[in-house]
């Protein structure tokens, strides 16, 4: 038995058949390479390999009957790789079944995977965690805008999306990507013993929008806290997520975001654009200013440039490409 390694693939073959194995692999690779060439960006997102010609006498590999989905991973709200928040972005020609999108998001195992389809003058956009579809996701929207503006519609500076949360935009301004999102001001609620037990520090105020927001005493407390995830998961108001925030020292305000009922495997979200739909109107009132700089103090960390515009908020940040590739699905 001999082992042939050719371009990263290992094939075991009996003595006497090695030459034929090389010929078959080389011919198949050459046929595949020719199919990749001369494809424009619009046709590149979906290729049915079963329609491509395979040289006579070569057995068709099983993955050649699959569809190719263009896929990116982007680190959002950072200008450094391995910082900010990762998002997967899948470029589609048409919407697949919801179950398939959920399975892809679970397989990707990132905080969010965005799926985007061109629909006339705008794009349809949906977001999935490994477990559920979300109504709004900031970092995955920024990542999607980054991909479209740099790899799809390079001639434009602004892209529009229709989503579960209405009309959203991403605009490229210098090195920044600015999100235009709905404002979600929180309303005060009573502090409960479970809230303080869950985060391990005194809670000064509790507020509720989509997420539960707990205000604590200092940036240091936000940075150093280690919440009890099991207790946090049982708080009724925390069914989506929990924002923990304080007035900043290094910036205007800081926060961290936990969503143990959405992603049990990774309960803390590194940088959360959607939570700032609540944080921006809250801190505007407390600080008396509409333009603010925020930091999310997770391990990966991220910086968000914020503006309160009444019924809308603008959230800006950098983005860095980590991966460009393909997902193969039947």
51-108 residue pLDDT tens: 334 445 544 444 444 588 999 999 999 999 999 999 999 999 999 999 999 999 999 9
Per-residue pLDDT, 57 = 52
CA–CA gap between residue 330 and residue 252 (Å, rounded):
48
pLDDT at position 46 over 60: no
Residues annotated as catalytic are 112
Per-residue pLDDT, 265 = 72
Name the CA radius of gyration of the chain, rounded. Answer: 23
CA–CA gap between residue 318 and residue 146 (Å, rounded):
9
pLDDT, averaged across the chain = 85
DSSP state of 235: -
pLDDT at position 23 over 80: no
At 93 the three-state DSSP class reads coil
Domain over 68-182+318-329 is classified CATH 3.40.605.10: no
The CA-based angle 123-146-97, given to 5 degrees, is: 40
Q: Where in the chain is the domain with CATH 3.10.310.10?
A: 68-182+318-329, 187-310
CATH fold for the domain made of 187-310: Diaminopimelate Epimerase; Chain A, domain 1 (3.10.310)
Backbone angles phi, psi at 94, to 5 degrees: -155, 160
> What one-character-per-residue DSSP string does 295-324 give?
EE-SSS-EEEEEEEETTEEEEEE-EEEEEE
CA–CA gap between residue 134 and residue 120 (Å, rounded):
24
Please give the average per-residue pLDDT across 164-190, as a whole number. 97
Cα dist. 297→181, 272, 292 in Å? 22, 11, 16
Give the β-pairing of 112-119 and 85-92: parallel
Determine the length of the chain.
330
Whether the CB-CB separation of 164 and 135 falls below 8 Å is answered with: yes
CA–CA gap between residue 146 and residue 172 (Å, rounded):
8
Any idea which of 23-27, 140-144, 242-246 has the lowest mean pLDDT?
A: 23-27
Question: Count of CB atoms within 10 A of residue 6's CB?
Answer: 12
């Amino acid at each position: 038995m001999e082992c042939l390694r050719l371009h990263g693939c290992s094939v075991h073959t009996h003595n006497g058949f090695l030459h034929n194995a090389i010929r078959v692999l080389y011919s198949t690779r050459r046929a595949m390479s020719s199919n990749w060439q001369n494809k424009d960006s619009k046709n590149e997102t979906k290729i049915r390999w079963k329609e491509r010609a395979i040289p006579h006498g070569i057995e068709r590999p099983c993955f050649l009957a699959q569809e190719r989905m263009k896929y990116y991973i982007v680190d959002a709200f950072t200008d450094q790789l391995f910082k900010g928040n990762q998002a997967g972005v899948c470029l589609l020609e048409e919407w697949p079944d919801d179950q398939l999108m959920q399975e892809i998001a679970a397989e990707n195992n990132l905080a969010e995977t965005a799926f985007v389809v061109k629909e006339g003058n705008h794009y349809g956009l949906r977001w999935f965690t490994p477990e559920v579809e979300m109504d709004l996701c900031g970092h995955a929207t920024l990542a999607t805008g980054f991909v479209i503006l740099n790899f799809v519609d390079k001639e434009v500076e602004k892209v529009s999306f229709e989503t579960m949360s209405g009309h959203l935009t991403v605009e490229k301004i210098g090195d920044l990507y600015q999100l235009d999102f709905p404002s979600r001001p929180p309303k005060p609620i009573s502090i409960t013993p479970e809230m303080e037990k869950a985060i391990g520090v005194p809670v000064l105020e509790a507020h509720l929008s989509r997420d539960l927001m707990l205000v604590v005493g200092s940036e240091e407390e936000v940075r150093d806290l280690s919440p009890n995830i099991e207790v946090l998961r049982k708080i009724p108001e925390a069914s989506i997520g929990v924002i923990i925030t304080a007035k900043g020292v290094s910036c205007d305000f800081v926060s961290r975001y936990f969503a143990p009922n959405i992603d049990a495997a990774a309960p803390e979200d590194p940088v959360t654009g959607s939570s700032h739909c609540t944080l921006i109107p809250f801190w505007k009132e407390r600080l008396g200013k509409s333009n603010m700089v925020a930091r999310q103090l997770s391990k990966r960390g991220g910086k968000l440039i914020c503006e309160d515009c009444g019924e809308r908020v603008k959230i800006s940040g950098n983005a860095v490409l980590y991966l460009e590739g393909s997902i193969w699905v039947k």
